Amino acid sequence: MLTIDRVSGRALVPDELFAQLTARIAHDHPEMATDMPARIMDQALAFLAACANATEPLGPSDLVDIGWHTFILHTREYADFCQRIAGRFIHHQPDPPSDDTGPTAPEPLGAPISRTVTAIRAAGFALDQELWGGVTADCNSKCSQCHAGCHNSPTG
pLDDT at 45: 98
The predicted model scores a pTM of 0.77
pLDDT tens for the chain, 156 residues long, are 554 568 999 999 999 999 999 999 999 999 999 999 999 999 999 999 999 999 988 999 999 999 999 999 999 999 999 999 999 999 998 766 655 454 443 444 567 899 999 999 999 999 999 999 864 433 333 444 443 333 333 333
Give SS3 for 6: coil
Give me the pLDDT at residue 80, please.
Answer: 98
